[in-house]
Amino acid sequence: MTSATWFTIKLRTSRWFDRQASRNMNRDNHHCLLKRHPTAQYTRPYGRSVVSDESGSPPKASSSNHERQTRPRKRNIVIFGESGSGKSSVINAITQTQRAKTSSDATGCTFSYQRYPVDISGQSYVLFDTAGLNEGNISAVPAAKAEKELKSLLRGLMSPGSDGIGLLVYCVRSTRARQALIRNYNLFYSVICRKKVPIVVVVTGLENEADMQAWWHTNAKEFKIRGMHFQDHACVTTLHKHQGISDVFTRRITESRDMMRNLIVDNCSEWAVDDTWFNQSLADARYAMKHNWNSERSSPSTLIICGASPEEEEGLAHFGGEAYRVRPVPQPESTSSAKGGHEGDLLIYYAHADTLSMHMARRMFYAFYTAYRGNMVPVVIVVKGLNDRKSARQWVDRYIKHPGAGLLFSTFSPADLGDNYLRRHAEQDLHDLIRHSCLVRSVVKGGGVLKRFARLLGWP
């Protein structure tokens, strides 16, 4: 075979892959348009788990599975917070009913939950009204009862007719410094949901504020000081409309209901959970309860990094007064070719914006994601050759995100490293992402205890 013939075959093959990727992109963009229009019916490929084919590429829909692939699925929305934070009232506002019973009594109900199906803008959701940890009640609930309720909650989130977990909604009434406020955040977001789904906050009880939304601008920094980061927020009242209520309160009730429903539609993701997640989250949460976890990271986090230069790797070993364990890994050739021995608290993947083939970019990322347990560990994607975070997020959504991946954090690395301002901005953005996206798993001073405990039990 002549070199010219070989070149022609290679070129035609590349063009075929690009056409296939373009068709997939157009299909994905069509789904995104449906999501942006609340009156449209929104569906995505059906399936709780993501299994690759022999080439290591994400799965594709098959014609024999057409009915299951196209029918709408229910997305699980976990609503949590302390007793008295307004969880049940939030659910009543979202469902526009009075199905959820409101109560301030949290005795003995750690991890208990109620399910409330609801349709919003043509999409089916299941709201999980969960009981979190109040001040002191973690030791007041018998361990056997708490573990039984925890198992029931995790199994409920794995229900066959669902899309896994799509969103966490944290209900709070105040940002007063309470350990339970931070403990609930880390328990649900990091321990149970592995920081794989978006988390939003609903601040309730603001009906008497002159401007409910202004509350956030004044108090948002209180969350960040305590290491709590949210993808979105809503400042609302959960009062119920009744005869004789003033027009001012009626208007605020309506506005709050619409904000909370839009909060779900705009931020819901798609994270496929499985038995591996069940085992790991159960082990971690059980240990946290047993040892009255203080929810603080007490040992250096491990960063598994793929595609970075030696200088970039060195720059991530220590910054902002914190040290990190940096573990460089090669790009896997397939989903089963990674070398063992690495257990990370965060995966960092460097991609190139000038990648010509969408198929190749998606295949390479999926091989990395699968080989290093991306479904159980948060992932930060650094897109080289872009100059802002918005462009990086759009590139990730278009080129490499696959169904069931859940939340992917993304940032950029400019092509012109000589632009010191842009380079420093990109570095700071990456550092901020690393600080708040690492798993919080080391629960006893000395570090690593939770991981060793999980291994002792035989969990992955």
Show me where the domains of the chain are located.
73-276, 298-457
Please say if the pLDDT value at position 48 is more than 60.
Answer: no
* Strand intervals (E) in 217-299: 232-235
State the number of CA atoms in the 13 A half-sphere of 138 facing the CB: 20
pLDDT tens, residue by residue, 253-299 = 999 999 999 999 999 998 999 999 999 999 988 887 776 555 566 57
Instruction: Give the domain 73-276 fold.
Output: Rossmann fold (3.40.50)
Q: Give the residue, 360 or 35, on which the prediction is more confident.
A: 360
173-182, 238-247, 338-347: the lowest-pLDDT one: 173-182
pLDDT band at residue 430 under the 50/70/90 scheme? very high
Q: Which CATH class is domain 298-457?
A: alpha beta
Element (H, E) at 74: strand 74-80
Strands, sheet with 199-203, edge to edge from the N-terminal-most edge strand:
113-120, 123-130, 74-80, 162-172, 199-203, 232-235
* pLDDT tens profile 157-190: 998 777 789 999 999 986 665 667 888 899 899 9
Contact 128, 115 (CB under 8 A): yes
Q: What does the pLDDT read at residue 32?
A: 40
Q: Rounded to an integer, what distance in angstroms lies between the CA atom of residue 62 and that of residue 65?
A: 5
CATH topology identical between 73-276 and 298-457: yes
Q: How many CA atoms lie within 13 A of 49 on its CB side?
A: 11
DSSP state of 19: H
User: 88 with 102: CB under 8 angstroms?
Assistant: yes
Facing residues of 127 across strands?
Answer: 77, 116
pLDDT grade, residue 303 (50/70/90)?
very high
Which residues touch 23 (CB under 8 Å, ≥6 apart)?
Answer: none
* Radius of gyration, alpha carbons of the chain: 23
Place of tokens 């462009």: 391
The most distant pair of C-alpha atoms in the chain lies apart, rounded to whole Å, by 87
pLDDT at 445: 36
Is residue 234 within 8 Å of residue 212, measured between CB atoms?
no
Token pair, residue 293, equals 């976890």
Percent above pLDDT 90 for the chain: 48
| Of 271 and 20, more confident | 271
Instruction: pLDDT band for 132, please (50, 70, 90 cuts).
Output: low
Flag whether the pTM goes above 0.85: no
pLDDT of residue 388: 94
In angstroms, rounded to a whole number, what is the distance separating the alpha carbons of residues 116 and 359? 39
Helical H segments across 294-381, by residue range: 310-315, 358-371
Name the residue with tokens 């970039």: 312
Opening angle at CA 175, ends 189 and 95, nearest 5: 60
Confidence class of residue 82 from pLDDT cuts 50, 70 and 90?
A: confident
